[in-house]
Structure 1
Amino acid sequence: MAFKLVLLAALVALATADTAPLYGHPAPPPVPAKYDFNYAVKDEYSGNDFGHQEARDGYDTQGSYYVLLPDGRLQKVAYTVIGDAGFVADVTYKGEAKYPEYKPAPPAYT
């Protein structure tokens, strides 16, 4: 019987315990995210061309990114995220794919 009484007292103590942090200040209330960023790289020497832009206000996000593909086309992805609706993307391509003519390498032995 004493064990049940001690167990009951422990459960009551846990249920009524203060949930404030023991050290420091309490955490501030969450603030909805708000940001805007962009970057771009265009390197004529290596042929790299890519970039990204995104803006967010609370749970709504919009942005786009692009990359120069190895076949010469520019791929662009524009996207939005509105609350819990999910990620909605629109993918487009600019230019025409170009493939070099295949030339087999000569054998390495003679």
Structure 2
Amino acid sequence: MYTKVLLIALGLAALAYAAPGASSEESFESGEAKYNFNWAVRDESSENDFGHQEARDGENTQGSYYVHLPDGRLQKVSYHVDGDDGYVAEVSYDGEARFPDSASYESNESK
């Protein structure tokens, strides 16, 4: 009798373990993506000046990045991504491009 009760108990335990929804593996549900970050680099000695910021909430993503160009201008890109609309960017420049005078460049090169 004791053996029959033990076998029934083990059988019920096995059924409960194998029941739908019961799993030995953990399941993680993924929710909507949501984040916000930014970073920047400004190094006077190397003249590196650039950065990036972005925020996302579900399918709506907005951000911008910038870089100090070798010609002296600051290039800025603002963008957004909204579901099926895709990536939409607006590029702008601050400052005026400055190039070395070719005559002074050639005279400095010969020194």
Please report the TM-score for the alignment, with normalisation by the length of structure 1.
Answer: 0.71
What's the % identity of the aligned pairs? 59
Cα distance in 2 between the residues matched to 1:40 and 1:81: 22
Q: Does 1:65 align with 2:74?
A: no
Please give the secondary structure, in 2, of the residue aligned with 1:46: coil
Alignment size in residue pairs:
86
User: Which runs of no fewer than 5 residues in structure 1 stay unpaired?
Assistant: 1-19
Deviation at 1:101, TM superposition (A): 1.4
CA-atom RMSD, angstroms?
A: 2.0
Cα distance in 1 between the residues matched to 2:70 and 2:37: 26
Aligned position for 1:99 = 99
Aligned position for 2:53 = 53
Cα distance in 2 between the residues matched to 1:82 and 1:68: 28
Aligned position for 2:8 = none
Aligned position for 1:37 = 37
Which piece of structure 1 moves more, 96-105 or 65-74?
96-105
Please report the TM-score for the alignment, with normalisation by the length of structure 2.
Answer: 0.70
Amino acid at match of 1:62: Q
**Any idea what the Cα deviations from partners look like across 1:74-94, whole Å, max 9, x if unmatched?**
000000001111001010000
Please give the secondary structure, in 2, of the residue aligned with 1:31: coil
User: Which runs of no fewer than 5 residues in structure 2 stay unpaired?
Assistant: 1-19
Deviation at 1:99, TM superposition (A): 0.3
Amino acid at match of 1:38: N
Cα distance in 2 between the residues matched to 1:24 and 1:81: 39
Please tell me whether Structure 1 or Structure 2 has the larger radius of gyration of its CA atoms. 2
Compared CA separation, residues 26 and 36, structure 1 to 2 (3 A): same
Deviation at 1:30, TM superposition (A): 2.0
**Any idea what the Cα deviations from partners look like across 1:21-46, whole Å, max 9, x if unmatched?**
xx841532221110000001111111
Q: Counting helix residues as a fraction of each chain, which structure ranks higher?
A: 2
Compared CA separation, residues 98 and 24, structure 1 to 2 (3 A): farther
